[in-house]
Amino acid sequence: MSSTETPEATPVVDTDRDSFVAEIRARLGSAVLDSFVKPGDDIWIRLAADTWVDSVRTMRDDLGLDYFEFLSAIDWMPSPFGKGEEDPTAEPAEKDTTIRQGYAGGDTRFQVLLRLESLRGKPAVNVKVDLDDSMTIGSISSVFAGANWHEREAGEMFGITFAGHPDQRNMYLPSDFEGHPLRKDFPLLARVIKPWPGIVDVEPLPGGDEEGGDE
């Protein structure tokens, strides 16, 4: 984009992407639950969870989306902890916990997010898949070998089970780690504000003698 173009000059209707979405819909049929096109920017489509491995394979083989970009997940629940910067002494404000999904909609709290690109000149596509409460979804590592590590990472960070994954171990976390760090209800301990201990500035050691503090 040259510098003379202003943001207003971006086309309002993106025929390339619109026709590509139509092609995807025609090819995948009812597997496409929803789609969204941001003109001049990107495509978002939402696939049905039960057939999504086949859909991705079709997209790779028939729709020219042959380049695997990344796979991850999104937890759409607003964080109950906020930014961890609230005044700890004040009464915590009422938090809006309604779940609002992003582009291409969604029904569940967790969504798997996959981005595929094409090296044959087709537009790139962001794929979203709803995850139900079983937190289980098919693994696409048989379609894109590179998804192997991404699924391992998403699995440990969000607690998703990828059915059919060859070896879903933890990627980063220790194997005995409890919890799933990227879920919004996982507190980021570094940002949790503890009340200033006041006069007593020696905190009792965890597990230590309760009377060990300065009294």
Residues at the interface with other proteins (CB under 8 A): 1-3, 6-7, 41-42, 44, 66-70, 72, 74-75, 78-79, 83-85, 100, 102-103, 113, 115, 119, 124, 126, 144-146, 148-150, 153, 157, 170-174, 181-182, 184, 186, 188, 190-191
Give the helix/strand (H/E) hosting 162. Answer: strand 161-163
Instruction: With H, G, I as helix, E, B as strand and everything else as coil, classify residue 149.
Output: helix
Instruction: In angstroms, give the least distance from the CB of 48 to other proteins.
Output: 21
Instruction: In angstroms, give the least distance from the CB of 204 to other proteins.
Output: 28
**Nearest to other proteins of 84, 213 (CB atom):** 84
Task: List Cβ neighbours of 197 (8 Å cut-off, separation of 6 or more).
Answer: 203
Give the helix/strand (H/E) hosting 61. Answer: helix 52-61
Task: Report the C-alpha gap between 149 and 164 in whole angstroms.
Answer: 14
The DSSP symbol for 154 reads H
Instruction: In angstroms, give the least distance from the CB of 113 to other proteins.
Output: 7
Task: List Cβ neighbours of 160 (8 Å cut-off, separation of 6 or more).
Answer: 73, 110, 112, 131, 135, 136, 137, 151, 154
**Nearest to other proteins of 50, 87 (CB atom):** 87
Instruction: In angstroms, give the least distance from the CB of 67 to other proteins.
Output: 5
**Nearest to other proteins of 51, 72 (CB atom):** 72
Task: List Cβ neighbours of 184 (8 Å cut-off, separation of 6 or more).
Answer: 75, 77, 78, 79, 80
Instruction: In angstroms, give the least distance from the CB of 90 to other proteins.
Output: 19
The DSSP symbol for 19 reads H
Q: How far is CA 98 from CA 37, 78, 118, 144, in A?
A: 25, 7, 36, 34
Instruction: In angstroms, give the least distance from the CB of 198 to other proteins.
Output: 26
**Nearest to other proteins of 130, 153 (CB atom):** 153
**Nearest to other proteins of 12, 26 (CB atom):** 12
**Nearest to other proteins of 49, 140 (CB atom):** 140
Residue 71, strand partner residues: 114
